[in-house]
């Protein structure tokens, strides 16, 4: 199964927005997509029409039986689209998960081995959303992820974060063992000079790691408030276009077959 992790050294840069909307774009293209939330904030589910009062998630299953499969936490989010919420959690629950994931080294890692059904189904695309910065889950997924998509803003503080990625400082090793990381500059407003300068810096120094930009767009906020995808809310918005372009680039990197509007995951090209 192709696994995409969406992570960033910085908070509030659009990780959850991008993870959820990529899931919507890929599922609309015909791929079966499972989106999983590794952030205790537990907000990813809200992008899939799940009610605020719905508190279940994989953390509840994990607490009852650490070796149980998380597949039972899957909620249907639309055609071809599924979400696994983190769930409402206590500090003890989060600590217990962190300690299991922290031991996640070698071939029998927790996500690869105990969650095999979830992470090794070649017919399903898995997109994982993470809290900002380091997390044990982000380190644990590095052995099973195929590509890491890293949203950053085109602001001054992001410039220093490019080198955090380049030097593998986020989890003290590469974010995955396959295609590596790709940066998405989000909230871009070309009327702002600094935004243009940061884009120039990124093109000049990290062109091969720059996947694309998403413009600052009120449709993003409005779509989220209505629990709809951006393309569904306003197909003609700049953000919908930007995310579609980024999804196509990811599909190209992962070598998905896209035929007449239908995306076919090719297990052989994934090395599964």
Kindly list the residues in this chain that would bind Mg ion in the complex (CB under 5 A): 15-16
Using rule CB under 6 A, residue 133 touches ligand ATP: no
Q: Based on CB atoms, which residue is closest to Mg ion, 39 or 146?
A: 39
Q: Which residue number, 225 or 264, has a Cβ lying nearer to ligand ATP?
A: 225
DSSP assignment of 184-198, as one string? EEEEE-TTSHHHHHH
CB of 41 to ligand ATP, least distance (A): 6
Per CB under 6 A, which region of 141-149, 157-165, 196-204, 214-222 contacts ligand ATP? 214-222
Q: Which residues of 157-179 are buried (b: 16+ CB within 10 A; e: fewer)?
A: ebbebbebbeeeebbeeebbebb
Residue 214: closest CA among 180, 241, 196: 241
Nearer to ligand ATP, 246 or 265 (CB): 246
When asked if residue 244 is in the footprint of ligand ATP (CB under 6 A), the reply is no
Residue 252 CA, chain-centre distance (Å), reads: 17
Q: Which is nearer to ligand ATP, 20 or 73 (CB)?
A: 20
Are the CB atoms for 173 and 143 separated by under 8 Å?
no
Please give the backbone phi and psi of residue 165, each rounded to the nearest 5 degrees, phi first: -70, -45
- Contact pick of 5, 16, 27, 158 for ligand ATP (by CB under 6 A): 16
Verify binding: residue 104, ligand ATP, rule CB under 6 A.
no
Asked whether 270 and 1 are in contact (CB, 8 A), the reply is yes
Biggest alpha carbon distance in the chain? 53
> Which one, 5 or 109, has the nearer CB to ligand ATP?
5
Please, what is the angle between helix 218-225 and helix 238-254, to 10°?
A: 90
Q: How remote is the C-alpha of 270 from its chain's centroid? A: 18
Considering the rule CB under 6 A, would residue 17 count as an interface residue with ligand ATP? yes
Q: What is the spatial distance between Cα 78 and Cα 176, in angstroms, rounded to a whole number?
A: 29
Q: Does 186 bind ligand ATP (CB under 6 A)?
A: yes
Quote the CA–CA distance of 81 and 4 in Å, as a whole number: 15
Contact positions with ligand ATP (CB under 6 A) in 72-91? none
What is the smallest separation between the CB atom of 220 and ligand ATP, expressed in angstroms? 4
Q: How far is the CB of 17 from ligand ATP (least distance, A)?
A: 3
Going residue by residue from 222 to 241, which x/- string records binding to ligand ATP, judged by CB under 6 A? Answer: --x--------------x--
Contact 199, 173 (CB under 8 A): no
Retrieve residue 122's tokens: 């070649």
Binding residue for ligand ATP (CB under 6 A) from 32, 45, 178, 187? 187
Binding mask 26-55 for ligand ATP (x = CB under 6 A): -------------x-x--------------
Which residues of the chain form contacts with ligand ATP (CB under 6 A)? 11-17, 39, 41, 131-132, 186-187, 214, 216-217, 220-221, 224, 239
């Amino acid at each position: 199964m192709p696994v995409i992790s969406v992570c960033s050294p910085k908070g509030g840069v659009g990780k959850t927005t991008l993870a959820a909307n990529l899931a919507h774009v890929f599922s609309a293209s015909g791929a079966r997509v499972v989106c999983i939330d590794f952030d205790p904030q537990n907000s990813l589910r809200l992008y899939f029409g799940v009610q605020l009062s719905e508190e279940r998630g994989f953390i509840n299953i994990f607490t009852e039986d650490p070796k149980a499969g998380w597949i039972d936490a899957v909620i249907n989010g639309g055609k071809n689209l599924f979400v696994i919420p983190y769930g409402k959690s206590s500090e003890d629950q989060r600590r217990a998960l962190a300690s299991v994931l922290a031991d996640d080294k070698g071939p029998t890692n927790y996500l690869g081995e105990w969650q095999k059904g979830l992470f090794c189904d070649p017919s399903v695309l898995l997109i994982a959303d993470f809290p900002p910065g380091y997390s044990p889950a982000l380190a644990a997924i590095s052995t099973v992820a195929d590509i890491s998509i890293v949203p950053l803003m085109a602001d001054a503080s992001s410039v220093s974060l490019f080198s955090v990625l380049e030097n593998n400082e986020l989890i003290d090793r590469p974010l995955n063992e396959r295609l590596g990381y790709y940066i998405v500059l989000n909230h871009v407003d070309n009327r702002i000079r600094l935004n243009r300068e940061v884009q120039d810096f990124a093109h000049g120094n990290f062109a091969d790691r720059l996947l694309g930009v998403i413009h600052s767009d009120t449709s993003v906020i409005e779509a989220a408030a209505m629990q709809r995808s951006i393309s569904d809310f306003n197909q003609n918005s700049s953000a919908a276009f930007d995310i579609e372009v980024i999804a196509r680039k990811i599909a190209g990197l992962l070598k998905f077959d896209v035929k007449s509007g239908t995306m076919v995951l090719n297990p052989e090209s994934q090395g599964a």
